Chain A
Amino acid sequence: MNHWYHQWRKIKSYFVSGLCLMCAALVVAPLALVLFNLLQKGASSLDFAFFTQLPRPVGETGGGMANAIVGSLTLVGLAGLVGIPVGVLGGIYLSEFGTPRMNWAVRFAADILNGTSSIVWGIVVYALVVGYSAYAAGLALGFMMIPLIIRTTEEMMALVPNGYREAAFALGISQWRIVLNIVLKTAGKGIITGILLAAARVAGETAPLLFTAFGNSFWSHKLSEPIEALPLQIFTYANSPYDDWHRQAWAGALVLILFVLALNIGVRVMTRGRTPHLAK
């Protein structure tokens, strides 16, 4: 009796272990499937024209997403102009100067903003900036970058050993020079990693762009005009009823994901071992 009960417990244990393995396989499966389908459906449409030409009107085959690719890069650049200074300097405050109360409040606000739906950012900036423009879209993406960068900067600066700061103080260097030339420099690689990951994250955002960038089938000559972006173009094309546009949407998605994953994998490889928190 006892023996059988023991066997039964063992079987149960193996069964659950198997179940857990299956769960892990199921969680990883979508990644493999998405990547496989993107390569399968998108790679054949990737040609020189895709990167150099404007989209063609419905009915004409060919054309590309050159304006969307340039637009996306422009928007990420604009977002960086907003997000990087605020995020990095704010992170410096949290790590070097902050009072417990202020730090708690800022971290709390950053976490809330981080969890905020991306469409909310779109509609908020839509209300703040009149009209659709690249500026508005860059601002929305920049706002999204702030909470991401501020937290990684704080974390990276906190990893710098206090001995560095104390040694510099003993040499009579003023604090702001210590922070900028020693602490920031030591944490630099990790902070850049955080910035690149934040850039990769916002580069793939579509929802905030609906109300701000709006889309544009031509080159945008001014930043005060509506602008096209890769995720936006993918959304428009995927929702269209035309096969040729679906084909291009897959190609666009492949380009987008290669960009995002390359940034992600790149920074992880680059920082392996040095910044345990991000490299893991």
Chain B
Amino acid sequence: MNSAAVSGKTRPPTRIVLAPPSKTGDKAFRLLTWLMALMVLLLLALVGWTLCKGSALSVTKFGWNFFGHSNWDPVNGDFGALPFIFGTFVSSFVGLLIALPLSLGTAVYLTELAPGWVRQPAISMIEMLAAIPSVVFGLWGMRVLVPWLQDGPYPLLEKYLGFLPIFRGPISGRCMLSAAIIIAIMILPIITSITREVFRAVPDSQREAAFALGATRWEVTRMAVLRYSIRGIFGAAMLGLGRALGETMAVTMVVGNADKISASLFSAGNTLASKMANEYAETTAGIHLSALFELGLMVLLVTVVTNILARLLIGAMGARKLAGT
């Protein structure tokens, strides 16, 4: 029904017809972005598939035995990953043991205690610490930190705590403990920033309620803040552990690279990732390469598991932070 028909006059109708926006462009663009988002899923599948395919030879040949024995012999084609599994878990857990209290203390300081003018610069510095490349930590670790540790703290530890098997000599500077300390330094920023977010999410009413009952600052922190965010703290620790388990370059440079299992933290060792980094130049085809792929597959699996656990623990609140770092 146009205006001409309504008015009944002969004047030609004046119509302005706007073409509706074309749907083709929308559809094409939407498809393009969908494909790119799909790429992320495919990439994850690709990583898993490549590692599985690459390690198939080693998995079929050694089976469970791969995890159970400690002979790494490229000449005779016999491979066992036990020392690296041991090294990875020991260095990561000791690193986490060192990093977690420090991170918690720092996060408490930053959220509960620090005056405003300290807070922002300190947070920026911790973020900068996270930006330092792994190889730079490695260089600093092997040329500055390890010599210092070897001369000062390690002999003291051996002297006073040497009755514990983990601190029994002989001391080699590049050892599991050095690797754990470097790992601790490298995971401090991520644990600190996540626990800080978790503490900040604690409602102020919790703190106020505790203060109103006459609690001191520490009692407020302990009862209202720490108790409230225990899940988030575990999640942050789990995420730090995930980083620690996969840490490669810095660890390779300070761990000593010896394929052995020793109760002492002062002895050299190797981790899954450092073993792979060490053998990059020697990889030929065949079973040796396949064994390296199986090490990679293990690294992937442990990081996937720790990441999933961390996500479950931190929940939706931590999701943004998980991606940001």
Contacts and interface: CB of A to CB of B under 8 A. Distances in A.
Interface of A: 9-10, 12-13, 15-17, 19-24, 26-28, 30-31, 33-34, 37-38, 41, 85-87, 89-90, 92-94, 96-98, 102, 105-124, 127-128, 143, 146-148, 150-152, 155, 172-177, 179-180, 200-201, 203-207, 210-211, 214, 231, 234-235, 238-239, 246, 249-250, 253, 256-257, 260-261, 264-265, 268, 277-278, 280
Contacts of A20: 105-106, 108-109, 112-113
Interface residues of B, number: 99
A102 to B, nearest CB: 7
B242 A115 contact: yes
Kindly name the residue among B114, B136, B219 whose own CB sees the greatest number of chain A CB atoms within 10 A. Answer: B136
Contact of A249 (B110, B139, B217): B139
Contact of A117 (B29, B38, B280, B299): B299
B303 A116 contact: yes
Given A23-B102, A24-B110, A261 B131 contact: yes
Contact of B246 (A116, A150, A256): A116
Contacts of B39: 86, 90, 146
B321 to A, nearest CB: 10
12 contacts: A13-B219, A23-B102, A33-B144, A86-B40, A109-B41, A111-B307, A115-B303, A155-B320, A176-B30, A238-B143, A253-B139, A256-B135
B292 to A, nearest CB: 7
Given A117-B248, A174-B22, A211-B280, A13 B218 contact: yes
A204 B135 contact: yes
B44 A128 contact: no
B269 to A, nearest CB: 17
Contact of B43 (A146, A151, A256): A146
A37 B125 contact: no
Given A86-B39, A176-B29, A119 B21 contact: no
Interface string B33-56: 110111111011011001101100
Given A114-B322, A146-B39, A210-B280, A119 B138 contact: no
B25 interface: yes
A117 B247 contact: yes
B201 to A, nearest CB: 15
A264 B131 contact: yes
Interface in B166-182: none
A10 B216 contact: yes
Contacts of A155: 320, 323
B224 interface: no
A92 B33 contact: yes
Contacts of A123: 51, 54, 276, 292-293, 296
Given A28-B126, A30-B129, A113-B47, A102 B37 contact: yes
Contacts of B102: 23, 26-27
Kindly name the residue among A97, A115, A249, A256 whose own CB sees the greatest number of chain B CB atoms within 10 A. Answer: A115
B22 A34 contact: no
A146 B273 contact: no
Contacts of B277: 119, 207, 210
A146 B40 contact: yes
A113 B139 contact: no
Contacts, number: 297
B188 interface: yes
B101 to A, nearest CB: 7
B18 interface: yes
A274 to B, nearest CB: 17
Contacts of B30: 93, 97, 175-176
Interface of B: 18, 20-23, 25-26, 28-30, 32-34, 36-41, 43-44, 46-47, 50-51, 53-54, 101-106, 108-110, 112-114, 122-129, 131-140, 142-144, 185, 188-189, 192, 216-219, 221, 239, 242-243, 245-249, 253, 273, 276-277, 280, 283, 292-293, 296, 299-300, 303-304, 306-308, 311, 319-320, 322-324
Contact of A119 (B36, B44, B248): B248
Contacts of A152: 323-324
Contacts of A257: 132-133, 136
Contact of A124 (B113, B129, B296, B322): B296
Contact of A17 (B113, B127, B273): B113
Contact of A96 (B33, B124, B292): B33
Nearest to B41: A109
A119 B273 contact: yes
Given A38-B140, A204-B133, A253-B135, A261 B33 contact: no
A229 to B, nearest CB: 10
Nearest to A97: B30
A34 B292 contact: no
A236 B44 CA distance: 30
A117 B33 CA distance: 27
B51 A124 contact: yes
Given A24-B105, A26-B102, A107-B319, 7 more contacts: A12-B218, A23-B109, A106-B37, A115-B303, A116-B246, A117-B300, A256-B136
Contact of A97 (B33, B114, B138, B247): B33
A280 B307 contact: no
A260 B131 contact: yes
